[in-house]
Amino acid sequence: MPAPIRLRELIRTIRTARTQAEEREMIQKECAAIRSSFREEDNTYRCRNVAKLLYMHMLGYPAHFGQLECLKLIASQKFTDKRIGYLGAMLLLDERQDVHLLMTNCIKNDLNHSTQYVQGLALCTLGCMGSSEMCRDLAGEVEKLLKTSNSYLRKKAALCAVHVIRKVPELMEMFLPATKNLLSEKNHGVLHTSVVLLTEMCERSPDMLAHFRKNEKLVPQLVRILKNLIMSGYSPEHDVSGISDPFLQVRILRLLRILGKSDDDSSEAMNDILAQVATNTETSKNVGNAILYETVLTIMDIKSESGLRVLAINILGRFLLNNDKNIRYVALTSLLKTVQTDHNAVQRHRSTIVDCLKDLDVSIKRRAMELSFALVNGNNIRGMMKELLYFLDSCDPEFKADCASGVFLAAEKYAPSKRWHIDTIMRVLTTAGSYVRDDSVPNLIQLITNSVEMHAYTVQRLYKALLDDISQQPLVQVASWCIGEYGDLLVSGQCEEEEPIQVTEDEVLDVLEGLLVSNLSTPVTRGYSLTAIMKLSTRFSSVNRIKKVVSIYGSSIDVELQQRAVEYNALFKKYDHMRPALLERMPIMEKSASNGPTEIVQTNGETEPSVVEPKHLPPVTQPVNQANDLLDLLGGNDVVPVIQNTMPTKPASAGGELLDLLGDLSLSAIPPMTAYNKNGLKIDFTFERANPNPNIAVITIHASNSTEADMTDFVFQAAVPKTFQLQLLSPSSNVVPALNQGTVTQVIRVLNPQKQQLRMRIKLTYTLKGSPVQDLAEVNNFPPQSWQ
């Protein structure tokens, strides 16, 4: 059997492969050879074969069949075997495989080997990939080696202990005695790893932290070591660009940070050395800056005095001006962490930070953006926003959403004027309109609604924006909504803030209809524009055109659109008298912090309901279509004093209360009553309580007809006093069959928040045997349970 091909030979051969397939073939051939060699339990060449396997593994090929071979190598007496065996174990095995536990015994033996390099291999492997079980088994050995005087082993044992503690935190205690004089070592390797070990212990356990602070007086020791490093002359062994052992310095600074955090005494004890490091460290190379960076992080985290903190921020400020973009990046990251606590100090570097928005590097730009937003305040809002909007224009798409949200938030908090606020929003919508978050649309709508004096200006600007571009959905949605609300201001050319544009009703409707048909519009947007068109029916005169549009969409395949159109159609036909009230201008919305949906409070210049004026009851022939007919019914001299004495409440309009009206019905035992009984027409009321709102009474009327002929065109109307709110749902039919053959039912919901005695005035109209009949009546006999 010829000797297996050497490792380098194999590497050379594989590299000559010109295609992936060729390489695969070579690898498979070699793997087969290696497998048979393993089967033969060949000790001489096992090392060579495993080494080759590791190479092939790095290329991405499976090598699991070599796992056990690694263990055999580790168990061998030859150093060469052990070296490759341990390497193989670290590459091919991990704690997920049960096989790895077989290593434990070998490692234990090797930890006690006579050759320190073998011990080193074992410590390295354990410290790199030891599982918790292995760590538990071998912790004692590691602890022993931590106390040895051999610095080569001691430093490795320290890091191995770190790993053990990470895997099995409960074992931390056992390493405590061994840490006693770790810091009195001269060997830098041991010092460095000891500091790492102490850091790990202090971070993990507050008790350890307290112990090291108080009992071991760690801070003075660390300060002393650090001082020596800085003050001592050139040491060739540890020098990096003129700085003595920067790795050790950084680790000491980090440990000081942990010790000084939330502890006045420790912080004070390290104050001087921190100032010294901060001022004396050479900053021309990366290594010096690495130390300064760690120093800054420490200063900011401990209870340092203000002078030191300012020093730290200034270091960061200088970093920002450094040519090295790595340094700039690190500065921005740190400033972001400190901007909350040291806001004023960071503000001083604002212009530099803003300049970083123009950096080429994505990470730097992102940090600069976040920091810029953190620095925005009432004083600098105009300037900052200019820069940020410019950034929004030109930045990568990945930033736009965050930037847009940031702009909205900042504008909301610090807007110097309403006009500026609207302009800023417009700018964001037009430049990054497709990236704004979904919740921005309702927020913006609310904002616009509440800026009453800006309505004309806003709708004009939005309209112009729509003429330019209808692809950005959030912009289109906000614009549609505004046009629907304020279209009348648009066509009447009332804008004060800028030159009013001349636009006709037809042109506006053209634009809105255009949105409906455009491929760019999403279903949501279409919904917005249909509703907007509908709203304009009470603001524009071209009602017929609107009616036509609405009826067309009654057969739209989009279910949402269809439903809207059908309902709006119904508004035109049967409920035309309600249309103006339903579609009137939205009141100012206040964002309430309390539960659930926005509470809508009418504060928009509506006059307080004063004493109700006497009104004549309308004559019988008055057309049903008159607006607010019903509400007038209750005006009059016979208004019960109860109404007049009530507090002028603001009747809630469409909104919060209505949402409650849609709550579940629940049965409660309220007795039914007869509300009306005249001329053969009888109307009974049955009651239910609406859950969850007990202030709402749900009344179902049952109209029956005992005459010989049907009552056709039957319409039931009701009015309630001003302290109540009424909602009439559609009737089951408008023919009341003769001779009690059936009933017409209709549901009334009455909101009675003040729990006043329920009263109602009803109006009935129908046609009987060809003649129209109309009657009015008052219903006063409501059972107490229906309103209490």
Partner 1 sequence: MPTGRVCFRVALGSSFRQRGNTVLLFKMQFMLLFSRQGKLRLQKWYVPLSDKEKKKITRELVQTVLARKPKMCSFLEWRDLKVVYKRYASLYFCCAIEDQDNELITLEIIHRYVELLDKYFGSVCELDIIFNFEKAYFILDEFLLGGEAQETSKKNVLKAIEQADLLQEPRHEYFNVPMY
490-549 residues near partner 1, rule: CB under 8 A: none
Please identify which residue in 72, 75, 105, 189 interacts with partner 1, judged by CB under 8 A.
189
CB of 387 to partner 1, least distance (A): 21
- Choices 86-94, 492-500, 627-635, 686-694 (CB under 8 A): range interacting with partner 1: 86-94
628: left (phi over 0), alpha (psi -120 to 50) or beta: left
Q: 13, 105, 109, 132: which one contacts partner 1 (CB under 8 A)?
A: 132
Q: Does 96 bind partner 1 (CB under 8 A)?
A: yes
Tell me the number of residues near partner 1 by CB under 8 A: 85
Which residue has 């059972």 as its token pair? Answer: 783
| Length of the chain as a residue count | 788
Of the pair 56, 532, the CB lying nearest partner 1 is at 56
| Candidate residues 35, 108, 113, 238; the one interacting with partner 1 per rule CB under 8 A | 238
Please say which residue, 240 or 735, places its beta carbon nearer to partner 1.
240
CA neighbor of 730 nearest in space, from 708, 749, 711, 753 = 749
Give the range of 328-336, 497-505, 534-542, 697-705 binding partner 1 by CB under 8 A. 328-336
Residue showing tokens 């007990």? 694
**Which stretch in 238-246, 482-490, 608-616, 778-786 sits in contact with partner 1 by CB under 8 A?**
238-246
* Residues 228, 223: Cα–Cα separation, whole Å: 9
Distance of CA 522 to the CA centre of its chain: 23
Indicate whether 115 belongs to the interface with partner 1 (CB under 8 A): yes
Say whether residue 477 binds partner 1 (CB under 8 A): no
Residue 286 engages partner 1 in binding (rule: CB under 8 A): yes
633 to 662, contacts with partner 1 by CB under 8 A?
none
| Residues 215, 144: Cα–Cα separation, whole Å | 23
Burial class (CB in 10 A: 0-12, 13-18, 19+), 502: exposed
| Residue choice 144, 147, 166, 427 for contact with partner 1 (CB under 8 A) | 166
Q: How far apart are CA 378 and CA 380, in angstroms?
A: 6
Could you tell me how many helices (H) and strands (E) the chain has, helices first?
34, 11
Task: State which of residues 287, 392, 428, 589 lies at the interface with partner 1 (CB under 8 A).
Answer: 287
Cβ closest to partner 1, residue 236 vs residue 619: 236
Are the C-beta atoms of residues 365 and 399 closer than 8 Å to each other? Answer: yes
Q: Is residue 17 within the footprint of partner 1 (CB under 8 A)?
A: no
- Beta-sheet pairing, 696-705 with 665-666: unpaired
The distance of closest approach from Cβ of residue 377 to partner 1 in the complex, given in angstroms and rounded to an integer, is 27
Measured from the Cβ of residue 676, the count of other Cβ atoms closer than 10 Å reads 19
For partner 1, the binding residue among 31, 159, 696, 711 (CB under 8 A) is 159
Of 126-134, 462-470, 553-561, 741-749: span binding partner 1 (CB under 8 A): 126-134
CA distances from residue 291 to 196, 234, 243, 285, 760 in whole angstroms, order as listed? 16, 17, 10, 11, 83
Output 140 or 383, the one with its CB closest to partner 1.
140
Please tell me whether residue 248 binds partner 1 under the rule CB under 8 A: yes
Least Å from the CB of residue 293 to partner 1: 5
**Least Å distance between CB 55 and partner 1?**
7
Q: What percent of the chain is helix, strand and coil (3-state, nearest 5)? A: 60, 10, 30
Residue range at the interface with partner 1 (CB under 8 A); choices 44-52, 410-418, 487-495, 669-677: 44-52
> Which of 66, 85, 127, 474 is in the footprint of partner 1 by CB under 8 A?
127
Near partner 1 by CB under 8 A: residue from 152, 390, 420, 572: 152
Compute the least distance from the CB of residue 85 to partner 1, in Å: 12
Alpha carbons 229 and 223: distance in angstroms, whole number: 10
Report the residue from 138, 160, 698, 750 that binds partner 1 according to the rule CB under 8 A: 160
Q: How far is the CB of 34 from partner 1 (least distance, A)?
A: 13
- What SS3 class is residue 470? coil
Query: Shortest approach of partner 1 to residue 59 CB, angstroms?
Result: 8
* 363 lines the binding site for partner 1 (CB under 8 A): yes
Q: Are 761 and 778 in contact (CB under 8 A)?
A: yes
Q: How far is the CB of 667 from partner 1 (least distance, A)?
A: 48
3-state secondary structure of 498: coil
Amino acid type, 148 = T
The reply to whether 120 sits near partner 1 by the rule CB under 8 A is yes
In the numeric block, which tokens belong to residue 311? 């020093």
Q: How far is the CB of 393 from partner 1 (least distance, A)?
A: 22
For residue 401, the one-letter residue type is A
* Residues 164/111, Cβ–Cβ less than 8 Å: no
321 CB-side CA count, 13 A: 10
Token pair listed for 517: 């048909």
In the region spanning residues 375 to 414, those forming contacts with partner 1, defined by CB under 8 A, are none
Q: CB atoms < 10 A from the CB of 408, how many?
A: 22
Under rule CB under 8 A, residue 61 binds partner 1: no
Number of C-beta neighbours around residue 69 at 10 A: 23
DSSP 167-180: H-GGGGGGGTGGGT
Query: For residues 107 and 483, which CB has a smaller minimum distance to partner 1 in the complex?
Result: 107
The upper half-sphere exposure of residue 673, i.e. CA atoms within 13 Å in the direction of its Cβ, equals 15
Binding mask 569-608 for partner 1 (x = CB under 8 A): ----------------------------------------
Q: Tell me which stretch binds partner 1 (CB under 8 A): 190-198, 625-633, 689-697, 773-781.
A: 190-198
Nearer to partner 1, 101 or 524 (CB): 101
Cα-based distances in Å from 149 to 92, 187, 656, 768: 33, 11, 78, 116
Q: What are phi and psi of 181, to 5 degrees?
A: -120, 30
**Which of 362, 520, 552, 642 touches partner 1 by CB under 8 A?**
362
Does the footprint of partner 1 cover residue 352 (CB under 8 A)? no
- Strand 665-666 and strand 681-690: the pairing is antiparallel
Q: What's the one-letter identity of residue 657?
A: E
Contacts of 206 (CB under 8 A, 6+ apart): none
Q: Can residue 233 be called a binding residue for partner 1 (CB under 8 A)?
A: no
Does 264 engage in binding with partner 1 (CB under 8 A)?
no
Would you give the binding string for partner 1 spanning residues 192-221, x where CB under 8 A is met? xx--x--xx--xxxx---------------
Q: Is 328 in the site for partner 1 (CB under 8 A)?
A: yes
DSSP 609: -
Selected from 72, 75, 101, 133, the binder of partner 1 by CB under 8 A is: 133
Q: How far is the CB of 728 from partner 1 (least distance, A)?
A: 55
Q: How far is the CB of 14 from partner 1 (least distance, A)?
A: 10
Instruction: Please report whether residue 141 would count as binding partner 1 according to CB under 8 A.
Output: no
690 is a site residue for partner 1 (CB under 8 A): no
Residue 11 contacts partner 1 per CB under 8 A? yes
DSSP for 356-419, written as a single string: GGG-S-HHHHHHHHHHHHHH--TTTHHHHHHHHHHHHHHS-HHHHHHHHHHHHHHHHHH-S-HH
